[in-house]
Chains A and B, each alone.
Chain A
Amino acid sequence: MAELRLAGRPASPGFAEGVLFHLVERSVTRIATNDSSREAADLRRAIADAAQTIGALAEKSEGEAAEMLAFQVAMLEDDALSEGAFIEIEKGSAADQAWRQALDAEIQSYRAADDEYFRARSADLEDIRDTVLDHLSGGGSVLAVPPGSIIVARDLPPSRFLGIDWSKGGAILLSEGSPSSHVAMLARARGVPMIIGLGIVPTPDATPVIVDGASGEAFVEPSETTRHAFLMRQRDDQEKSGRAASVASKPAMTADGTPITMLINIAGLDDLEGLDPSLCDGIGLVRTEFLFGEGPDLPDEDTQYHVYRRMIEWAQGRPVTIRTLDAGGDKPIKGLTIDGESNPFLGVRGVRLSLARPEIFRIQLRALLRAAVHGPLKVMVPMVTVPSELEAVRMMMGNAFHSLKSEGVTVAVPALGMMIEVPAAALAVSHFNADFFSIGSNDLVQYTTAAGRDIGAVASLADVRHPAVLRLIELVASYGVEAQREVSLCGDAGGDPTLIPDLLKAGLRTLSAAPGLIGRAKLAISEFHLGQSGGR
Chain B
Amino acid sequence: MTVPVLSSEKASGSALLTNAVGLHARPSVKLTQLAKSFSSSIAVATEATGPWVDAKSPVKIMRVKAPKGTILHFEAEGPDAVEAVAALVALVERRFDEAEGDDHG
Contact = CB atoms under 8 A, between A and B. Distances in A.
A71 B29 contact: yes
A80 B57 contact: yes
A236 to B, nearest CB: 33
A454 interface: no
A121 B62 CA distance: 10
A75 B57 CA distance: 8
B59 A115 contact: no
Given A75-B59, A78-B59, A121 B25 contact: yes
Interface bracket on B: 20 to 34
B18 interface: no
B94 interface: no
B70 to A, nearest CB: 11
Given A74-B32, A78-B57, A117-B21, A67 B26 contact: yes
Contact of B67 (A67, A70, A75, A115): A115
A118 B26 contact: no
A124 interface: yes
Contacts of B104: 64
Interface in B50-89: 54, 57-60, 62-63, 65, 67
B24 interface: yes
B22 interface: yes
A68 B60 contact: no
A387 B62 CA distance: 49
A246 interface: no
Contacts of B62: 75, 118, 121
Interface bracket on A: 20 to 34
A521 B54 CA distance: 52
Given A70-B29, A121-B62, A115 B57 contact: no
Nearest to A72: B25
B59 A80 contact: yes
A117 B105 contact: yes
A336 B5 CA distance: 56
Interface in B90-105: 103-105
A34 interface: no
A78 B21 contact: no
Interface string B32-48: 11000000000000000
A118 B29 contact: no
B21 A71 contact: no
Contacts of A41: none
Contacts of A110: 65
Given A80-B60, A117-B105, A74 B67 contact: no
Nearest to B60: A80
Interface string A454-497: 00000000000000000000000000000000000000000000
A118 B32 contact: no
Contacts of B67: 114-115
Contacts of A117: 21-22, 24, 103, 105
Given A113-B65, A117-B22, A78 B58 contact: yes
Interface in A35-72: 64, 67-68, 70-71
Interface of B: 21-22, 24-26, 28-29, 32-33, 54, 57-60, 62-63, 65, 67, 103-105
19 contacts: A70-B29, A71-B29, A74-B58, A75-B58, A75-B59, A75-B62, A78-B60, A106-B59, A106-B63, A109-B63, A110-B65, A113-B65, A115-B22, A115-B67, A117-B105, A118-B65, A121-B24, A121-B25, A124-B25
Interface of A: 64, 67-68, 70-71, 74-75, 78-81, 106, 109-110, 113-115, 117-118, 121, 124
Q: Which 3 A-B pairs have the closest CB atoms?
A: A80-B59, A71-B25, A78-B59
Given A71-B26, A71-B29, 7 more contacts: A67-B25, A71-B58, A74-B32, A74-B58, A80-B60, A110-B65, A118-B24
